[in-house]
Amino acid sequence: MRTLVTGGAGFIGTHLVERLLKEGNEVICVDNFTLGKRENVDKFLDNKKYKFYEIDINDNETFCEKLKNEKIDIIYHLAANSDIQKGGKNPEVDYEDTFMTTRGVLELMRRNNIKNLFFSSTSAIYGDESDKMLSEDLGGLLPISYYGGAKFASENFISSYSYMNDFNTMIFRFPNVIGPNLTHGVIFDFAKKLKNNPKELEILGDGTQTKPYIYVLDLIDCIMFMTKQIDKGVHIYNVGVESATSVTKIADIVCEELGYKNVKYNYTGGNVGWKGDVPKFQYDLTKIHNAGWTANYTSDEAVRETVKVLKK
């Protein structure tokens, strides 16, 4: 297959590019390095099946023009803002890099008659529904972060473009994704903070926030497995693990695995880490399990494995 990975220089994108190439696919990668790293591109440049374009997708005319002669069977659209702090301070960030990148990709598909799309959505589209089991058909969704709003708007635009242009679309709503080469998120932050001060650790919220963490290689397995099932229309899947891990438990695992002892935890208080965060959520995973995929790692195992890899 000839594939296009947007955001292919990022954390999840690099793992996906690696697997697509390993399985014999051609990969065109697009990234503008707002958050992606050049080394994630450089390591594939010797591979004849890999091609890289440094483009800001929001410069949509350039994006469509540069790719107009590329034959593409499927787009894996991962480009988005993943810097929660930056996005929380300025709504423009998620409007541009989370929503408008999606609109840009859809326009490329429409103009170039590309039919297959995989979209990386998020649990953030559900808003704060801590008491509910989140299933894909839950209605009346009210996202509470700019990021969640931009992803939900993306899902809606994808739905309309898919209908109007006969796309085959798969939307995956990821929870927290962790694993080798992690560049952001709570584990990454804790490891960084402890390196600076091994005696004390600031923990955002009261530490009881409890969420599922999926190991990135499990997620990539799932994407590859489900790509074979892509079909006409829009198909939405929660992808995750049934277990969940609290923030304090993550701190314990990080300290344990990295060898920090008697660390004093300083909680900033409140049941969320930042405005737009949710205290907990739980996915209904029946649909993805029935499709034939289940994660190998539990949430705690994913956290521990990630810290072990970070340590190396």
Ligand X SMILES: NC(=O)c1ccc[n+]([C@@H]2O[C@H](COP(=O)([O-])OP(=O)(O)OC[C@H]3O[C@@H](n4cnc5c(N)ncnc54)[C@H](O)[C@@H]3O)[C@@H](O)[C@H]2O)c1
Positions that interact with ligand X (CB under 6 A)? 7, 9-13, 30-36, 56-58, 78-80, 82, 97, 101, 120, 122, 174, 176-177, 183
Pick the closer one to ligand X by CB: 5 or 234: 5
Shortest separation between residue 262's beta carbon and ligand X, angstroms? 30
Which residue number has the CB closest to ligand X? 10
Pick the closer one to ligand X by CB: 39 or 166: 39
Pick the closer one to ligand X by CB: 115 or 211: 211
Pick the closer one to ligand X by CB: 76 or 260: 76
* Cβ density class 299-309: b for 16+ within 10 Å, e for less: bbbbbbbbbee
d(CA 186, CA 139): 29
Shortest separation between residue 249's beta carbon and ligand X, angstroms? 17
Shortest separation between residue 98's beta carbon and ligand X, angstroms? 7
Task: Judge residue 249's burial from the number of C-beta atoms within 10 Å of its C-beta, 0-12 exposed, 13-18 middle, 19 or more buried.
Answer: middle
147: closest CA among 206, 68, 88, 73?
88
Hey, what are 71's tokens? 């034959």
Hey, what are 231's tokens? 């079909």
Shortest separation between residue 82's beta carbon and ligand X, angstroms? 3
Pick the closer one to ligand X by CB: 222 or 263: 222
End-to-end CA distance of the chain: 34
Shortest separation between residue 173's beta carbon and ligand X, angstroms? 8
Residue type, 225: F
